[in-house]
Structure 1
């Protein structure tokens, strides 16, 4: 048989109990194996160990009774690995099928790896003039017969049919070139595990490039973690710092930009800790109607629990510089603000240039000066924690495969949960965490933007905010 292949292939499709490979399970496996010996098909229902929802039954036709006597994944694992071994793993939205199989094998303590080819990416490369590349669109565009959509073997057959059609048009050479480009092995420094190129996911995340002594050379985040990390070793960069100094890479995947940024902050803190002099301004009424700013430091301010703080500054010098700029912009008296020595009855340094309206020499009422000061600082006021206790901010990826629960309390990030047990542990944790200004700003942006689902959690033994 003259098959349109140059290497062994296996076309893979899975049906699952849901879209989250950290929580859901494989329900059915369908394979079409193609090599020099011909074409073989293999399919198996899998008992997922959890109920099949009505939605999945409606989509696939598979219900609890059909899988009640089916083997669990652990009984099929050896046979499945044998059939996949040494073959190019071809799937539509391969991240889904490959991710689910890696997760199932990982539960058995098996590190499953394969060279993967995504037919979504392949179709885009072969037919860039088209915008849509989902499987139903490709079936219609290329006139492929589909017996039963959303059954594993039927969809695997569709992929094999598409491959044969692409072998004819745009042709064998174009297909081979596209496959080579999409499966090209990454070039990594000799001190790095070559398996890293396979392990890095093509999703959101953050990473750190580490040196020989474990020191952090560079941190970053990306919407495609694999692409971004490997780009540091492409071309001439390979032999230049920091790429030439890298001995290990640490990374964390995420459902989206929010989680990637939180992971990045944690990695950055190894090189740049939370400022020890973190401070903010607090207003005090020193006389009726006369409010003055005083610096609040971590020793006397409960960041995240004190809603009368203004601005966040890494040092007291930075705070005073910011206040000086506010004074100049709003015609405030530097002496009244404590930026220079106050001499009773004598003008401050700003009066002469008309940058102070004379509160220091009685030309302006103290209450009017205070009102202007409050207005100037008002835009910098730290927001009070808007919830009664800890919450989880839920972020999902574009495919619904990853659902991250980021547990937060009083603007402090406790951690990421992808299962109920971890979620409960984080919600009930009594660990005191420092206030991180970068985390605060990220959380504020997403909470105010209402771009993430918020789940209220039991307070447990939540501690008072750390100073």
Structure 2
């Protein structure tokens, strides 16, 4: 059952992060013993510009809030309306986080029990997959006088509460309410509402501790679900438990799709060097192997630096390795299979007499005169073909397009010979990028991301050759 005193509330804001964004509108419906006793709403001057995308989404413009009161002027009235009430909102921790942070900015604390109507709908109607406010309005025939305006959305929530109160017996409703009021797991130092502000779309997220250096950068096709999973006590590994204890701030960068998230993560990890990321960090030492026939004894394979180079300049280069150990492991495996001499290929130093591999019948004997260099190297070159980087399937640069239907976000990634030349949002920016086409600069992680991505027919269908 619902509590005797409820405050249905909705806020419109300048963005999704309650730490840096501000409230632009508040609406509160105070209900006592099932009866609406107070109805109040106000625009709020956020003290900062409202982004154009937010203005078009909510209809609240900079001009509309220019003469509105600041939150400090409304604080006493808001506190009185919320006093002794359960704080009821859709995706409630988001609204609660903004209200709590607005009070914090004026040096005041705020706490209240919170009931989330998203969680309430999930608990009562588990057969449905969507529980956003648009889905509830359509499913239950709710009336909303102004969608994405604070009072219109709050009125819809009040109607939803009345419907479920009539439809479910008190014991079922009581269990659902208790579940919907359970606070999510979160790091102790992370402000309220930050996690709830994360969108359910592809993108990259950054965890920060006490300073400006990120401690971890990750990516996901669903930002909110992935970030929430880091802090879920039920699924947390020891590594994630340690990470969760350090997080004090979360930032995120939405993308138009999974490929954009993968490419952005790879770039940001290299640029920002987060302490807890082990992969994607170091690529400066990436090298391939080039056969040098001028070397009479060995090793006949020499390093060819790859990172930052133009693949068109490589010639015959085999493999892409981050360090000597990685290269040696690949060569040792081939040497064992095809009786190559470890001294000739450089995995062991040159010495007198037969190598240990020959004594174990794993080398054909170039090291002790039993095989000619020509015979050995002919076999070596055939074997090295298996290590060649994949041939670029097109004759020149291509555009890979992504679009996310729910957010309307689009991106075009321009790629040539596995090198990312740039990512833009629309055709105008694409034309500008083509006009000043950047030089190709190879990055091993980008190569591997694109290679995996373009293996699927659906991905290749999103490719347009640019000529």
The verdict on a shared fold, with TM-score over 0.5 as the criterion, is yes
Q: Give the deviation of 1:374 after TM superposition.
A: 4.0
Instruction: Please give the per-residue CA displacement for 1:152-173, whole angstroms capped at 9, x wherever unaligned.
Output: 4555433211111112332455
Query: Compared with structure 1, are the counterparts of its residues 188 and 400 closer, same or farther at alpha carbon in structure 2 (3 Å cutoff)?
Result: closer
Does structure 1 retain, via aligned residues, the 8 Å contact 2:207–2:216? Answer: yes
Unmatched tracts of structure 1, length 5 or more? 458-467
Q: Check the 8 A contact 1:11/1:32 in 2, yes or no.
A: yes
Alignment of 1:215-230 (within 5 A): 223=223, 224=225, 226-230=227-231
- Give the drift of 1:274: 1.5
Identify the range of structure 1 (75-84 vs 308-317) with the bigger mean alpha-carbon deviation.
75-84
Q: How does 1:236-385 map to 2 (within 5 A)?
A: 242=242, 246=245, 248-255=247-254, 259=261, 261-262=265-266, 263=268, 269-270=274-275, 274=282, 277-284=285-292, 286=294, 293-297=301-305, 302=309, 306-308=313-315, 309-340=317-348, 349-350=357-358, 353=361, 356=364, 361-362=371-372, 365=375, 368-369=378-379, 371-378=381-388, 380-381=389-390
Equivalent residue number for residue 34 of structure 1: 30
CA distance in structure 1 between the partners assigned to 2:328 and 2:305 by the alignment: 13
CA-CA distance at 1:188 after TM superposition: 6.6
Aligned ranges 1:34-53 → 2 under 5 Å: 34-36=30-32, 38-40=37-39, 42=41
CA distance in 1: counterparts of 2:192 and 2:319, whole angstroms: 43
CA spacing shift, 1:321–1:12, aligned 2, 3 Å: same
- 1:125-140 to structure 2, matched below 5 A, reads 125-133=123-131, 135=133, 138-139=136-137
Secondary structure at 2:331 match in 1: helix
* 3-state secondary structure, aligned to 1:196: coil
Matches of 2:417 and 2:354, distance apart in 1: 45
Q: Normalising by structure 2, what TM-score?
A: 0.59
Correspondence for 1:121: 119
The number of residue pairs the alignment matches comes to: 419
CA distance in 2, matches of 1:352, 1:237: 44
Which secondary structure does the structure 2 equivalent of 1:34 belong to? strand
Contact in 2 for aligned 1:307/1:382 (Cα 8 Å)? no
Counterpart contact for 1:307–1:384, Cα < 8 Å: no
Distance 1:125 1:241, change over 3 A: closer
Q: Structure 1 residues 332, 236: closer, same or farther in 2, change over 3 A?
A: closer
RMSD: 6.7
Residue 237 and residue 321 in structure 1: after superposition, are their counterparts in 2 closer, same or farther (change >3 A)? closer
- Give, in whole Å, the separation in 2 of the partners of 1:381 and 1:325: 20
> What's the CA shift for 1:74?
3.8
Q: Which has the higher helix share?
A: 2
Whether contact under 8 Å (1:208, 1:267) holds in the other structure is no
Question: TM-score by structure 1 length?
Answer: 0.59
Q: Per the alignment, do residues 163 and 407 of structure 1 end up closer, same or farther by CA in structure 2, a change over 3 Å counting?
A: farther
Q: What SS does the aligned partner of 1:318 have?
A: helix
Instruction: Note the residue ranges of structure 2 that are not aligned, 5 or more in a row.
Output: none
Residues 446 and 452 of structure 1, relative CA distance in 2, 3 Å threshold = farther
Q: Paired residue for 2:194, among 190, 194, 199?
A: 199
SS in 2 for 1:253: strand
Distance (Å, rounded) in 2 between the aligned partners of 1:132 and 1:214: 37
**In structure 2, what is the Cα distance between the partners aligned to 1:383 and 1:406?**
16
